[in-house]
Amino acid sequence: MKARMTFVGIILLVSLLLASCAPEPTPTPVPTTPPDTSAPAEPEYPPAPEYIEVGASIPLTGKFGSLGTQVKVGYDYAIADINADGGVFVAEYNAKVPLRLTAYDDESDPTKAVSNLEQVFSEQPAMVAYLGGAASGMHAATTAISEKNQVPYLGVSFAWWNIHQRGYKFLFSPFPKSPDQARDVFKALNEMIPDAAQRPTKVAVFQEKTDWGNELGGLFKADAKPAGYDVVYYAEYAPGSTDYSTLILEAKAAGADALLAMPTTPDGIAIVKQMAELGWKPKFSLIIRAPDAATWGEATGAAGDYVTVFAGWHYGENFPGVTEINAKHQTEFGRPADILVGPAYSCVQILADAIERAGTLDRNAVRDALEDTDMMTVIGPVSFNADGTGNVLNPLVQWINGKMELVWPLDQQTADFVYPIP
Amino acid sequence: MTKKQLIAISLLLLLTIGLCFVPVVFKSDSTINLFILVLLYLSLASSWNILGGYAGQTNLGHAAFFGIGSLVTRLLWIAGWPFYLCFLLGGFAAVILAMIIGIPAFKLRGVYFAIGTLALAQIMNITVANIWPEMSYNPAIANYQLAPRYYLFLGLAVTTVVAAYLLVNSRWGLGIMAVREGEDAAESLGISSLKHKLLALGVSAFFAGLVGSAFAYYHVSYYLFMPFGAEWTFDPVMMTYIGGKGTIIGPIIGSLFFVLMKQLLVWNVGEYHLIIFGTLFILVVLFLPGGLLEVWHKLQRMLKRKIEAAKAPRTKT
Smallest Cα distance from B127 to chain A, Å: 9
pLDDT digits over A205-216, tens only?
999 988 889 999
Q: Within an 8 Å CB–CB cutoff, is residue A147 touching chain B?
A: yes
Q: Within an 8 Å CB–CB cutoff, is residue B147 touching chain A?
A: yes
The C-alpha atoms of residue A100 and residue A76 are separated, in whole angstroms, by 9
Residues of chain B positioned with their CB less than 8 A from the CB of A116: 266-267
Residues of chain B positioned with their CB less than 8 A from the CB of A114: 33, 219-220
Q: Within an 8 Å CB–CB cutoff, is residue B221 touching chain A?
A: yes
| DSSP assignment of A145-196 | HHHHHT--EE--S---SGGGGG--SSEEB-S--HHHHHHHHHHHHHHH---G
Mean pLDDT computed over every residue of chain A: 90
ipTM surpasses 0.90: no
Residues of chain A positioned with their CB less than 8 A from the CB of B220: 114, 141, 144-145, 148
* pLDDT at residue A361 tops 90: yes
The C-alpha atoms of residue A116 and residue A123 are separated, in whole angstroms, by 10
Q: Within an 8 Å CB–CB cutoff, is residue B126 touching chain A?
A: yes
Contact A15 B151 (CB under 8 A): yes
Predicted pLDDT of residue A33: 53
Question: Which one is predicted more confidently, B316 or B192?
Answer: B192
β-bridge pairing A396-400 and A403-408: antiparallel
Chain A, nearest residue to B132 by Cα: A210
pLDDT digits over A130-157, tens only?
999 998 889 988 998 999 899 999 999 9
Q: Which long-range contacts (CB under 8 A, 24 or more apart) does A278-282 make?
A: A278/A245, A278/A248, A278/A249, A278/A252, A279/A252, A280/A248, A280/A249, A280/A251, A280/A252, A281/A421, A282/A200, A282/A204, A282/A251, A282/A256, A282/A257, A282/A258, A282/A421
pLDDT digits over B108-163, tens only?
776 788 888 899 999 999 899 888 888 888 766 667 888 999 999 999 999 999 99
| DSSP assignment of B57-71 | ---S-HHHHHHHHHH
Q: Which of residues 218-257 of A touch B (CB under 8 A)?
A: 238-240
Question: If residue A400 lies in a helix (H) or strand (E), which one and from where to where?
Answer: strand A396-400
Question: What's the mean pLDDT in B76-89?
Answer: 93
β-bridge pairing A171-172 and A153-154: parallel
Question: What's the mean pLDDT in A84-105?
Answer: 96
Q: Give residue B285's pLDDT band: very low, low, confident or very high (50, 70, 90).
A: confident
* pLDDT at residue B315 tops 70: no
Contact B135 A22 (CB under 8 A): no
* Local structure of B192: helix, strand or coil: coil
Q: Within an 8 Å CB–CB cutoff, is residue A30 touching chain B?
A: no
Q: Respond yes or no on whether the N-terminal peptide bond of residue A263 is cis (omega within 30° of 0).
A: no
Smallest Cα distance from B134 to chain A, Å: 5
Q: Give residue A62's pLDDT band: very low, low, confident or very high (50, 70, 90).
A: confident
Alpha-carbon separation of residue A146 from A57, A124, B141, B153, B315 (angstroms): 12, 14, 11, 23, 73
Contact B220 A141 (CB under 8 A): yes
Selecting from B20, B151, B159 the residue whose C-beta is nearest the C-beta of A8 gives B159
Predicted pLDDT of residue A364: 97
Contact B222 A137 (CB under 8 A): yes
* pLDDT at residue A29 tops 70: no
Q: Could you give the percent of chain A with pLDDT greater than 90?
A: 73
Mean pLDDT computed over every residue of chain B: 89
pLDDT digits over B206-250, tens only?
999 999 999 999 988 888 999 999 999 999 999 999 998 899 999
Contact A25 B274 (CB under 8 A): no
Q: Which of residues 57-86 of A touch B (CB under 8 A)?
A: 60-61
For chain A, the first-to-last Cα distance in angstroms comes to 76
CB pairs below 8 Å between A and B: how many? Answer: 143
Cβ atoms within 10 Å of B18's Cβ, excluding its own: 10
Q: Give residue B266's pLDDT band: very low, low, confident or very high (50, 70, 90).
A: confident
Q: Give residue B43's pLDDT band: very low, low, confident or very high (50, 70, 90).
A: very high
